[in-house]
Amino acid sequence: MNRHWTLHNRAIELLGFLMLIATTLASRPLKAGEGLTTDARSPHLSKQSWKLTAMDGSIVTPKSLTGKPRLLVFSRGFRCGQCTVQIHALEKQCSEFSAAGMDIHVFVSDSEASLRKAIADRSWSFQFLADPDQRAFESFLCSGKVPLHGVFLVDRDGDVRWSQTGNHPLLDIDRIFAAARDIDSQDKDYQSTGARQ
């Protein structure tokens, strides 16, 4: 009985250790040139074909999002309490991302009319895009009857370098910004050594 209990405990400890490793690897920033272009969870922007009109009237396509680093946020919109908290937290810290040369784009699964009404009461520092047909959501594997929340750090070449998706939005904006800084630092190191053109 004791022997079986010891084996059971060791199995639980091993499972916990493996889950810790998996979580660490899944959330670590990738090195320059190590983008997940062959990973279905993080499709390269060049492999996507959607087109959306942002709330500021501009046309946004995957190609238009290359050329500089971006934070892409997929949200259920202001009818979701946690999404609202996330959006306001992003607004509060948007200047930090801007200072680092990174633009923020928030994709919302609401209709254009609903989203426009929700954001009308104030000015925002980042771009909102209504995606009721979930075309962009689908490209990032966040679509569904109840769409997933997602955050994606994309470099200037269109590689997704860091991401997190799930049933709850990521509210730790500091964690996102830390990952963005790590990626920027890695890219600068590669540029200085000529490893990244």
* 137: Cβ contacts below 8 Å, ≥ 6 apart: 74, 107, 109, 131, 143, 147, 148
Which residue reads 């916990």 in tokens? Answer: 16
Beta strands 127-130 and 149-154, pairing class: unpaired
Average pLDDT of adjacent 10-residue blocks, the chain of 197 residues: 49 43 41 36 79 93 93 95 96 94 95 94 94 95 93 92 92 93 75 56
User: Which pLDDT value is given to residue 108?
Assistant: 97
123 sits in which H/E element: none
- What would you measure as the largest C-alpha separation in the chain, in angstroms? 69
Query: CA 64, 174, 83 angle in degrees (round to 5)?
Result: 70
User: Which pLDDT value is given to residue 120?
Assistant: 93
Half-sphere exposure (CA, 13 Å, Cβ side) for 2? 0
User: Which pLDDT value is given to residue 3?
Assistant: 54
User: Which pLDDT value is given to residue 41?
Assistant: 53
Can you read off the two tokens belonging to residue 138? 């689908």
pTM: 0.76
Query: CA 127, 128, 130 angle in degrees (round to 5)?
Result: 150
- Are 87 and 16 a contacting pair, CB within 8 Å? no
User: Which pLDDT value is given to residue 8?
Assistant: 42
193: exposed, middle or buried (Cβ count in 10 Å: 0-12, 13-18, 19+):
exposed
